[in-house]
Structure 1
Amino acid sequence: MLSRHLDPIVAIATAPGRGAVGIVRASGKDLTALVDTLCGRSLKAREATYLPFLAADGQAIDQGLALLFPAPHSYTGETVLELQAHGGPVVLQLLLARCLEVGNGLGLRLAEPGEFTQRAFMNGKLDLAQAEAVSDLIDASTEAAARSASRALGGAMSAEVGELRDALIKLRMLVEATLDFPEEEIDFLQQADALGQLARLMSRLDAVLDRTRQGALLREGIKVVLAGQPNVGKSSLLNALAGAELAIVTAIPGTTRDKVSQTIQIEGVPLHVIDTAGLRDAHDEVERIGVARSWDAIADADVILFLRDLTRIGEAAYDADDQAIALRIGQGSRVLQVFNKADAVPGLALPDGALSLSAKTSAGIADLRQRLLQQVGWHATPEGVYIARQRHVSALQRTREHLDLAQDMATLPVPALDLLAEELRLAHDALGEITGAFTPDDLLGEIFSRFCIGK
């Protein structure tokens, strides 16, 4: 896709299906021939003109609005033509085919997914973080995610990364100057307060990293798996969390044979809740497959709700099976012990950090929702968060690692300035990946290929 970025492109820019209005969008260096032939006249810049869109025989394909955005004052930075017609699929396909027919001599071709936004990035209209925010805004599944994506598109994240970059460049310049002019005998680390600058930079980076993690949670959500023995109330808990009867609930152990998934939101954070088959030695082949899938889901979870039945605590066989499950799940930070059926056995002592609730009466469900957010480190209010991706988090983490190594080099008895300069350079490169300053072409292709066609 990157090798053909000079071709003029065209695509239907509105969603598939019927609608009141449909848009065909074209972008290229010179669309004069397309405008003159399709519209039968020239167009004033950024002014909507109502006219017929002409077929090859001079008949009107449709009547609609034409808008011309000459370069560089357009979304892509190239000249952009938008044809707003009635939103029927046949009409839009006819209009698209006519554009390709007229533009054949210009090399006009169908746009690939995300190519309009890719051109905006390549022409300096958006940086990479803002370009990704366009896709995130379209794909947002909650109001909080949509508002946060809008902040990222407006440059909130890019501005913070830019401040970090400027501080890092300043520090790099001081180090490089000391390496270039050793005869000056400047005590770099003390007189330039290099260690102080580095410490302040790392502190600001930590704050940005924390906000970025919150933004990634808003975009990616949390994968929560309900795990435990059969008939402990996993399906009832899924229904209680979702506020709807999504899973079949009976007193028969093994009712759930396969995963049942539902996405809910808590404070704008998407939770992908997965109800799994009860964990036991199954004799039925279908149930055995379901149990194997349960363990696969547990391995891939962000949070595991290990559900126990308070009414069966003390039964030798039940306790032994629970212990075996606990050993296999482990006791890591992603495991949350939950004791169900508190309405039947109130006041029972629980292990530290465990929760008791009743999926039947919904008592304790509100506490569980808050614990789920705490479990993954959510502490922000959606109004102050910009959307982010795991790639951004990884880039900031690598930046922090290189700054840690730089600090080590700077605090040696004899500071290793050449190694310090190299770590600062690597930190700068990692930071630049967020906005696209140091991003490989194959990563750009992967990012933009996930967009919808026409955007």
Structure 2
Amino acid sequence: MTTQDTIAAQATAAGRGGIGVIRISGDQAVSIAHKITGQDLAPRHATYTAFLSQNGHAIDQGIAIYFPGPNSFTGEDVVELQAHGGPFLLDDLLKQCTDYGARIARPGEFSERAFLNDKIDLVQAEAIADLIDAGSRQAARLAMQSLQGVFSENIKQLKDKLIALRIYIEAAIDFPEEEIDFLADENIANDLANLETQLAATLAEAQQGSIMREGIHAVIIGKPNAGKSSLLNALAGQQSAIVTHIEGTTRDVLRETIQIDGIPMHVTDTAGIREARDAVEKIGIERAIDEISRADLILLVTDAERDTATDLQSLWPKGISRPEVPVLILRNKVDLTQETPGLHETDNINISAKHDLGLDALKQRLKEIIGYQEDLQGKFLARRRHLTALEKAQQGLTLARSQLAVGAGELVAEELRLCQQSLSEITGEFTADDLLGEIFSSFCIGK
């Protein structure tokens, strides 16, 4: 697939710089470049040239490179004009492109054309944006591995096995005269079980990849004056929250994003939970409860001088209504009780936020909960839509095994078809146009 119109955009970041690049893609890219440079560009050669206005005056001088399609990023003819990075120079060059017949590219349109022309799949297209937006070296490395096809290869292997299974089952249904009794074939049940195991492993890797991309939402809770704000400041490495000896100083929700070995952690400090003494405090407590309902991880801070209990039930009698969410109990102010800082029990850590004691043990435990791995070989970044599709596929395989157990052959085939469709949504073989628009519109214009 190729489009009829030619597009152009600045491929480098806005603002001044040593070099600025104008990218042109489409059927008219070569003719537009010829009018601007006055030269016939040799494929894949850097040509030093003047960039000319329509009246023949030199706008700038730089390098022009021609990449003939289909062996280019977009799969179309592509020309890159590498000029000096002055905003007015680049604007003038871009205007020359549009005056000669190109239009300004939409955000992400170059990558979209690469996808539509089968140069990359949808996972790889998203990886380009993730690579640009990476907030850490680890995230950048995982995005690069996704761009190189690590995630896509995982999905391909799953689909290949699924397709082979579908071919066998649907052939048995469509050609009953062949007397293929797949319902009694133990290999089918085993193949389904193995496929489920492989899919579960891919989903687990994708969940870790999603955490590396999106981060994890940790909420700090506890009684007033337990040291919640001191903990936020200690983790953030700056005075984000006001800290005083007065109970109830924090009245609203405070947020900071920190990184622990490249993992983004969105930490929220909340108002101390108790019976509200005024309307403002009541609102703060309500917001704290709302944050708890959306947390991936809860940090329960206690005052070691006041609270001798170390179990969750004693410290939080009303309970936390989300048993699936990990809760770390942090006994703060142990510098005043002479207790040893560090890991006391699996999810019980002695700290002094004020004096940075026990924080290394806390960070190590946070990494364990998140599932941090130093070896990133074979790993990849993932998005929420990828997880949703994998979860749907997992549900489909579970239902297929259930239908196989009761002898419902056609329903087995249907569940496997839906499972394959879910996996195809990830790489873009089966994707709605509105989703494509949503994905590529989030890219920068030059990509």
- Provide the TM-score with structure 2 as the length reference: 0.92
Q: Secondary structure at the match of 2:335?
A: coil
Which residue matches 2:189?
A: 195
**1:127-146 equivalence runs, <5 A:** 127-146=121-140
Counterpart check, 1:411 vs 2:405: yes
Q: In the alignment, which of 137, 147, 152 is matched to residue 158 of structure 1? A: 152
How many residues align? The count is: 443
Mapped partners of 1:330, 1:160: distance in 2 = 32
Mapped partners of 2:189, 2:335: distance in 1 = 58
Which residue matches 1:230?
A: 224
Gaps of 5+ in 1: none
Mapped partners of 2:175, 2:337: distance in 1 = 77
Q: Which amino acid aligns with 1:54?
A: L
Gaps of 5+ in 2: none
Mapped partners of 1:418, 1:292: distance in 2 = 51
Which residue matches 2:431?
A: 439
- Contact persistence 2:20–2:84 (CA under 8 A): yes
- Contact persistence 1:144–1:383 (CA under 8 A): no
Which residue matches 2:387?
A: 393
> Could you tell me how far 1:95 is from its partner in structure 2?
1.0
> Could you tell me how far 1:191 is from its partner in structure 2?
5.2
**1:36-115 equivalence runs, <5 A:** 36-103=34-101, 108-115=102-109
> Could you tell me how far 1:394 is from its partner in structure 2?
1.3
Which residue matches 2:118?
A: 124
- Contact persistence 2:74–2:111 (CA under 8 A): yes
> Could you tell me how far 1:268 is from its partner in structure 2?
2.0
Deviation string 1:144-186 (CA, Å, 9 cap, x unpaired) is 0000000000000101110110000000000011011112222
- Contact persistence 2:183–2:409 (CA under 8 A): no
Which residue matches 2:263?
A: 269
Q: Which amino acid aligns with 2:385?
A: R
Q: Which amino acid aligns with 2:34?
A: D
Which residue matches 1:9?
A: 7
> Could you tell me how far 1:200 is from its partner in structure 2?
1.6
Q: Which amino acid aligns with 1:423?
A: E
> Could you tell me how far 1:347 is from its partner in structure 2?
5.2
Deviation string 1:90-129 (CA, Å, 9 cap, x unpaired) is 11111111111111xxxx2111111110110000000000
Q: Which amino acid aligns with 2:19?
A: V
Q: Which amino acid aligns with 1:148?
A: L
> Could you tell me how far 1:46 is from its partner in structure 2?
1.1
Mapped partners of 1:393, 1:284: distance in 2 = 43
The 3 A distance-change label for structure 1 pair 321 and 424 is closer
Deviation string 1:284-339 (CA, Å, 9 cap, x unpaired) is 55555444433333332211212111212279xxx999647x54665542433322
The 3 A distance-change label for structure 1 pair 323 and 169 is closer
Which residue matches 1:429?
A: 421
Q: Secondary structure at the match of 2:139?
A: helix
> Could you tell me how far 1:216 is from its partner in structure 2?
0.8
Q: After the TM superposition, which of the residue ranges 140-149 and 91-100 deviates more from structure 2?
A: 91-100
- Contact persistence 2:205–2:379 (CA under 8 A): yes
Deviation string 1:44-77 (CA, Å, 9 cap, x unpaired) is 1111111111112110111111111111011111
- Contact persistence 2:295–2:325 (CA under 8 A): no
Identical aligned pairs, as a percentage? 48
Q: In the alignment, which of 16, 22, 25 is matched to residue 24 of structure 1? A: 22
Which residue matches 1:359?
A: 353
Mapped partners of 1:424, 1:376: distance in 2 = 32
Q: After the TM superposition, which of the residue ranges 32-41 and 440-449 deviates more from structure 2?
A: 32-41
Which residue matches 2:331?
A: 339
Mapped partners of 1:450, 1:299: distance in 2 = 29
- Contact persistence 1:129–1:152 (CA under 8 A): yes
Q: Which amino acid aligns with 1:58?
A: G
Mapped partners of 1:157, 1:436: distance in 2 = 13
> Could you tell me how far 1:282 is from its partner in structure 2?
4.5
Mapped partners of 1:336, 1:329: distance in 2 = 15
- Contact persistence 1:29–1:71 (CA under 8 A): no
Mapped partners of 1:240, 1:97: distance in 2 = 51
- Contact persistence 1:174–1:192 (CA under 8 A): no
Q: Which amino acid aligns with 1:381?
A: D
Mapped partners of 2:76, 2:218: distance in 1 = 45
- Contact persistence 1:263–1:270 (CA under 8 A): yes
Q: Secondary structure at the match of 2:420?
A: helix
Mapped partners of 1:310, 1:5: distance in 2 = 67
Which residue matches 1:454?
A: 446
Q: Which amino acid aligns with 2:50?
A: P
Q: Secondary structure at the match of 1:162?
A: helix
Q: Secondary structure at the match of 1:297?
A: helix
Mapped partners of 1:374, 1:119: distance in 2 = 41
